[in-house]
Structure 1
Amino acid sequence: MMVNTLLLIVGGFSTLPSIFARGDSCSSVLKPTIAADATAFATTIYDYIIVGGGTAGLALAARLTENSRITVGVIEAGIYHLGDPTLLTPELAIPGGQGNASYDWLFKTIPQPGANGRMISQPRGKMIGGSSGLNLLAWNRASQPEYDAWSIFSGSKSWSWAGLTEYFAKSQNIEQGQTNPFPGVSREQTDTSCTYGSANGPINVSYNVIYSDTVPTYVETWNKLGIETNGNPDSGSTTGIYNSRMSISRLEGIRSYSANGYFAQSCSRSNLHVLAGAEATKISLKKTSTKWTATGITYTVGSKVFAATASKEIILSAGTAKTPQLLELSGIGNSTLLKSIGIQPLIDLPQVGENLQEHVFTLVEFELNPGHQTFDALINNATFFAQQSSLYKTKHTGWLAANDGALSFLPLQVTASQAEQKALLAAFNDYVTSCNLTPIQRVQYELQREWLAKGRVPMTETIMMSRGLIAPQPGRSYLTLLTGVQHPLARGSIHINSSVPTASPVINGNYVGNDFDVQTLLQSVKFLLKLAKTPPLSEIVKTVAQPTATSDADLIEWIRNTVAVGDHILGTAAMATQEQGGVVDHNLIVYGTANLRIVDASIMPYTIAAHLQSTVYAIAEKAAALLLG
């Protein structure tokens, strides 16, 4: 109800701020309703064709076309939502465009036994900007050991913390001079954290300018339990509670994402064409000597079929769900699966669509004592909302330009007792020894066993939401804590089950299908219930609104009934050696091909304890460097 009300009013703004410098004058945007544009795209031979105009695709296209001699065509199934308040207003990021067919593919998993048979929504952006226009804006990195692990899979030290740091910096423009108000953070730490970024990247990144009055109390309570405030989480150590920067432009008070960042800076280039509203259906492949060469892409606009040609490379940036689908439709994947649905296998790569990983979350919600200012006030107080609406419209600031940024990333040693840690390790070992592991899983789980023992890598995340999310009652204020497993044992898959290109892929995450993942969530929920009973947080909490359960068995049932995903799917075209079962090599080229490359989250071999957008931008920046030499 809150989101619908906000959409109604904010959507009526006649002058919503926008950082599209060129707006509709962008000459590179080809409108899908004009058949001539689809034909023009098809009759142009590009150096590179990128499938997917999302987070990675637009970043890569922008960097490649900085060289005026390189021509790039981008095919995107969604459309261009210029100046759309549903996407741009930070307070509307929950749920924003999620669940709306105008912005979202509306994917769901098959029924998940671990989630009591529920089909779980798996939001994926379908628009110019992709999932960078759907996410909840958090901007962070994982810990150094997690990126260093990628070198074990890829066989290249360039895929590591040291090898990625410069590419993290290239994407971001950190707002300078801001103060981090979190207890336990010094001015020096705030200034130092800016050195891990850039002052001129396309994506604007900033701290919030508005905070609920519950935030200091919340942070101090974590500190009281021995969990320090991390003043510089982008330095390679993410453990602790910290104030995450958000992908928000403070000047305009709007979401900063690949469309109004990378694309806005490149869209008027004559060597870049973006065809919106066109769905790629097949990669054209030609056998040359021992490898296959990608020569073009077949795509549809409405009921019409077109084919475009690339002279150098085809690059898939369609995302973790769509990239494996397109590979399989083109004859690249598990040959047994492909034959079963009538597709002629060209390259047998059994791990295409496998290795799916995702963060899984549940939540606890507390009703607060009266008198606290949270985002609930926007729906509870009409006068306050009118004031904030005016402030946002005229000054581009206030509560509508804000979002929650308190994140906690913790190893199990912090949230679980010695006995609980022992039980979790036993659950881990029981699962690993009972499974018929693939080569890549053996490497993954050995790394995780080491991380569990040393406690250097976070295993859980907690996100503070200063608002009610589960049926909040009018006139009341809430604090909701989302908690999720960052390195779940569950491995899933995304595959086609039809040769019809427009059919949705079959997503099976196997979410909370093993005891380790369930018990990790349970221990985190119990820790958060303990947190709420600890002063000073206990002094502002009136009652536990959800869950009402207290026993472990009932809490586990709560977890199964509420578990959702973090919208961080990855790994379905993993960058790993062929011996491990990789799909792409360290240059991101699909095995068995000469020039088919993948640049999106599907190449990530192992999940990370972080929100993904800054890492996906870094992957795109690194890919551009590989191509440009």
Structure 2
Amino acid sequence: MLLCSTLLLAVGFGALSGVLGGVITDPTLVSNHTYDYIIVGGGLTGLTVAGRLTENPNIQVLVIEAGNDDRTNPVVYDIYRYGDAFGTKLDWSYPADQGRSILAGKTLGGSSSINGAAWTRGLKQQYDSWLQLLDPADANSGWDWNGMFSYMKKAESFTPPNSGQLAKGANSISSYHGFTGPVHAAFPLYGLSSKLMYGGPQEPAFASVMVKFGLVKYKDLNGGTPNCVSFTPDSNGRAFVVNQPRGLGSPVILRVAYLSPVESQRKGWTTLVGQQVTKILFNPSTALPRVATGVQFGTSSGKRFTALARKEVILAAGAIGSPKVLQLSGIGDAAALSSLGIQSVVNLPTVGKNLQEQTLSALGAGGTNFNVGGSGPSDVIAYPNLYQLFGSQASAMVNHITQSISAWASSQAKSALSASALQTIFGIQANLIIQDNAPVAELFQVTNYPDKLGTIIWPLLPFSRGTVQITSSNPFVPPKTTVNYFSVDFDLSTQIAAARMVRRSFQTSPLSGLSTGETVPGFSTVPDDANHGSDANWTKWIKSQFSSVAHPIATCAMMSRSLGGVVDARLRVYDTQNVRVVDASIMPLQISAHLSSTLYGIAEKAADIIKSGL
């Protein structure tokens, strides 16, 4: 609740001061007020940056979030309600090609409020590759594994598994984790008896089969070595709640890690919910670099308001939302924007290009009458590399990749800067796969979905590239999002190989001893044979039912301008003085991991860059 004196102070200062504080819904309370920083998007990265900037009591930050404050909604705070938010008002459900949609959280906390909470990190060399994509002058900018690892740990407050969790397969390596950050990571359940962590035979059996398939079982994959099978923790700011049991604390505090514990203390941090930023405002001078002065915001049925920024406007609206806001603001392909009646501010045609998204399928098998031993969530993931996934066909696939890079680059050039730039990028991606054994697929063991035994699969490192492009100057019209699913054959080949590996797993001891036979897709849909299903049948099934993983990246890529980058190593949009992007859209290449831990690291590093004045 706002104190009258605080409100009067804010109104009295008008445009001179943005002091208010707290989470608010009334746009008039911030209209025409001035803040040091305006952050567009109250998701994972936006709240992280705001939380770190407002550690300085003299800094005033306004966060504007299109969704509402749903922290008391069980769909948000209870991990066992995972999936219930999909397709509701809590989800942007961005329409994409081939009749698919891409999920994204439209609520305070963003996608971290509705995701599955898996806490994993990518391969060390994948982060190191980011430096290869920047200008040589940025070689010491810290965008590598060593730099990112420290920031990922800074965000984390890890609870090692207790004796009960260790007995069920959980493990950890202390040096891979942070212990003082805002984001709690642990195995289910923290604060309670460990009875709800799965303790049945299904997860150890899956891990044992993956070892038979050539993967090593690691105690902990969060040290930059994901090519393994491992029990993985969860970022249970998504609380493990069953009837709000004692010992877990308030779900409101647990949910939004950087905001909830401090919001009553940070008088310089105002979060406006239920309002969508419609464009960034710029100084009328057309000299480069362009200077942002604030933002315009509103609702589809209401009036528009303005808030002003003394220092910077920071985009944290996600890999679809951030390029959309830039394009609406006149930053993008000048010709395309002109056709919509939008005056060009910065001609930067690669805004919205280089989109990379993954494709998901789920396979299932019936189970014998065994006790699953808890309620999860599931915590066993296998990350096979190309050689483990393709087996005897791996050498042929390596040859195919190396011989196809040029053709793939040409085929995807319309979704990037140029074929020559993509050839450089694809070469780096290929080396990560071929030389560094970067995992190319995720096999996520799940219990009771889509049957008693289940495994969700997706290719991790697609070569297909897509675009995000507005089609209207109306900011409330979703952009056209074209993923170009499977437009490079490697992506489909990887998904087929992963499906075959899962089919084999159901037929391999000890998992086979728990299985009554594959039910999804089942042998009537994809007949089994010596190859565990033909390419044609797997292709038909995969294309009929796959969904987006909701890991879109790279639409405002942090790369050199010559390769098609949108932001530099300081996350500033090229040809602007004070507009930055801090979200998944800056990641230039996919990683072999879920995104949350990496995104917290990106936001932590961004906050330090901003505070240093770079």
SS at match of 2:445: strand
Instruction: Name the CA distance, whole Å, in 1 between partners of 2:320 and 2:360.
Output: 20
What's 1:295 paired with? 293
What's 1:163 paired with? 147
Deviation digits for residues 192-251 of structure 1 (CA, Å, limit 9, x no counterpart): x23222222111100123115111222122223332211121111111111111011565
What's 1:306 paired with? 305
Deviation digits for residues 421-449 of structure 1 (CA, Å, limit 9, x no counterpart): 41464166336425424254223210122
Instruction: Rate the CA distance shift 1:180–1:528 in 2: closer, same or farther, 3 A.
Output: farther
What's 2:278 paired with? 281
Instruction: Name the CA distance, whole Å, in 2 between partners of 1:434 and 1:521.
Output: 18
Instruction: Rate the CA distance shift 1:205–1:342 in 2: closer, same or farther, 3 A.
Output: same
What's 1:620 paired with? 603
365-374 or 619-628: which moved more?
365-374
Matched, 1:108 2:95: yes
1:118-517 equivalences in 2 (<5 Å): 119-155=99-135, 156=138, 157=140, 158-179=142-163, 190=171, 193-208=173-188, 209=194, 210-213=197-200, 214-248=202-236, 249=239, 251-252=247-248, 259-268=255-264, 269-286=266-283, 287=285, 289-301=287-299, 302-373=301-372, 399=375, 402-423=376-397, 425-426=399-400, 429-430=403-404, 432-436=406-410, 437=413, 438=418, 439-469=420-450, 478-517=452-491
Match of 2:48 among 59, 67, 70: 59
Instruction: Name the CA distance, whole Å, in 1 between partners of 2:255 and 2:372.
Output: 33
Instruction: Name the CA distance, whole Å, in 2 between partners of 1:182 and 1:228.
Output: 18
SS at match of 1:83: coil
Instruction: Name the CA distance, whole Å, in 1 between partners of 2:386 and 2:168.
Output: 22
Q: Is the 8 A contact 1:461 1:485 kept in 2?
A: yes
What's 1:22 paired with? none
54-63 or 428-437: which moved more?
428-437
214-223 or 459-468: which moved more?
214-223
Q: Is the 8 A contact 2:370 2:514 kept in 1?
A: no
What's 1:384 paired with? none
Q: Return the offset for 1:480.
A: 1.2
Match of 1:534 among 504, 508, 533: 508
Instruction: Rate the CA distance shift 1:506–1:253 in 2: closer, same or farther, 3 A.
Output: farther
Q: Which amino acid aligns with 1:243?
A: F
321-330 or 84-93: which moved more?
84-93
Q: Return the offset for 1:171.
A: 0.9
Deviation digits for residues 251-291 of structure 1 (CA, Å, limit 9, x no counterpart): 52898999531111331211010111111001001236431
Q: Return the offset for 1:339.
A: 1.4
Deviation digits for residues 105-142 of structure 1 (CA, Å, limit 9, x no counterpart): 121203x2xxxxxx112111111100100111101110
Q: Is the 8 A contact 1:30 1:274 kept in 2?
A: yes
425-434 or 288-297: which moved more?
425-434
Deviation digits for residues 285-344 of structure 1 (CA, Å, limit 9, x no counterpart): 123643100000000144111010000000001111110000000100011211122211
Instruction: Name the CA distance, whole Å, in 2 between partners of 1:127 and 1:419.
Output: 45
Instruction: Name the CA distance, whole Å, in 2 between partners of 1:517 and 1:421.
Output: 17
Superposition RMSD in Å: 2.3
SS at match of 1:252: coil
TM, length-normalised to structure 1: 0.84
Q: Which amino acid aligns with 1:261?
A: A
Q: Return the offset for 1:43.
A: 2.8
Deviation digits for residues 502-553 of structure 1 (CA, Å, limit 9, x no counterpart): 1011111011223211111111111111111111111111011011212311
Match of 2:76 among 84, 87, 90: 87
TM, length-normalised to structure 2: 0.86
Instruction: Name the CA distance, whole Å, in 2 between partners of 1:48 and 1:180.
Output: 46
Runs of 4+ in 1 over 6 A off after TM superposition: 182-185, 253-258
Instruction: Rate the CA distance shift 1:372–1:142 in 2: closer, same or farther, 3 A.
Output: same
Q: Return the offset for 1:556.
A: 1.2
Instruction: Name the CA distance, whole Å, in 2 between partners of 1:100 and 1:222.
Output: 36
Match of 1:28 among 17, 21, 43: 21
Structure 2 portions without partners, runs of 5+: 1-19, 189-193, 241-246, 528-532
1:63-78 equivalences in 2 (<5 Å): 63-78=52-67
Q: Which amino acid aligns with 1:619?
A: I
Q: Is the 8 A contact 1:355 1:493 kept in 2?
A: yes
Aligned residues: 555
Q: Is the 8 A contact 1:495 1:507 kept in 2?
A: yes
SS at match of 1:341: coil
Structure 1 portions without partners, runs of 5+: 1-26, 113-118, 375-397, 473-477
Instruction: Rate the CA distance shift 1:417–1:506 in 2: closer, same or farther, 3 A.
Output: same
Instruction: Name the CA distance, whole Å, in 1 between partners of 2:453 and 2:459.
Output: 20
SS at match of 2:484: coil
Identity percentage of aligned residues: 30
